[in-house]
Structure 1
């Protein structure tokens, strides 16, 4: 543009100078620069921006930066990071004491949980297998015991009928035999009562429910009581190994008692034949 002079403003082309040796407004490649007579940039005072296209004052920019910094600091504290954003190591953690970042800590916790999940599932499977074995042994023992009792009762009935049909000459022997049979039946019933009491049943073979136990109060059978213990054990993840050892020990005792019961009952039946 042509040279202009107006109240101390003069311009040549895209360069406008304010006053003699004053600051200049230079237009270059679609931008403006404000420089002094030595062509060095100078400060420009602007009002607070009110539109997205306005120039931003330093005070506004500083306030915005502080807001972002405050939120970033709060976020870092909430995430467990240091003030400079670095990871704060949890030296006393159970699984993450060696973690170097939040992602690393999450991965270590994930790995630990996976290991615990695999372990308790394996223990649960073993426990279910042990319970099934106990139930099978108990069922077989019940069947064997009932067969022996039925055979014994049948033998006693047949013997009594045979004696009743005999000649009156054998009346005395019949009386003695009935007395012996009664004593034998009483002894068997007494032994059966002891076996039932040892297993946790009453004299009729019914399960005796517990009222002061922690987990088996609502059980109605021996198998039900074991199942209640199984459910309770699943809730105690940290103690599953110790509980599994105890259950296996109890299972061995029950199996041994049932085996002893079968042997004892068989021996008694054979002895009474």
Structure 2
């Protein structure tokens, strides 16, 4: 029994099927060239079909396929781009005869068996006859033309809304800091953290969420304490350490007594804060305790 001829694995001109000896480079030779100088495996401007199977030859790799549409994605190409680059008409089908026949037969069976499908196709035919289909295509083309401008306007509106919300948050934060007597967020966070304030307390004072608060602490040069470190004993120890540091700064053994004396002498809270290196809220808390 004679053997069935093996379909060629690569495209080629008559008599060349890629089954002979390999090229000197060890692969299949590019036998055609596009006007731009690209080496091709099939003639430019032609869609090569295999006579025995009806498969199509890929210009890019020289292999045969029942459909080039899905295969082109492996090359990173679209069907329209492939047609344009290979000199094919825009409506050239990229499916082989056998696959086209199979699709046609399947569609015919569906048309015969599905009344709803027939109604939909009939509606499309009526739209084509009365011109409404062409009008819908024109509307789609107009929409496609204005879509970039519409998308740009939508993005601009979203960006403006985000900017407005950012400014509103910043205004609320400035009001909170002014109420606390702090010049800026970094100073407030450093002073309150040194005084033993927990992250929850700082969040309530500033209105910042957890992530934004942690980021602001790091920007202020403050390393947030690990969970569990903010205990009553820890807060007392840090408060004592802050008092001792302030006392050394002004050369006294009792910073609270020193603050009380200077306050009675007429020093303002801001002047006292600058002297001890702490915030006005810190100074007020010490004065309240001495009073």
Both structures adopt the same fold (TM-score exceeding 0.5): no
Q: Which has the larger radius of gyration?
A: 1
Structure holding more strand per residue: 1
Question: Using CA pairs below 8 Å that are at least 6 residues apart, which structure has the higher relative contact order?
Answer: 1
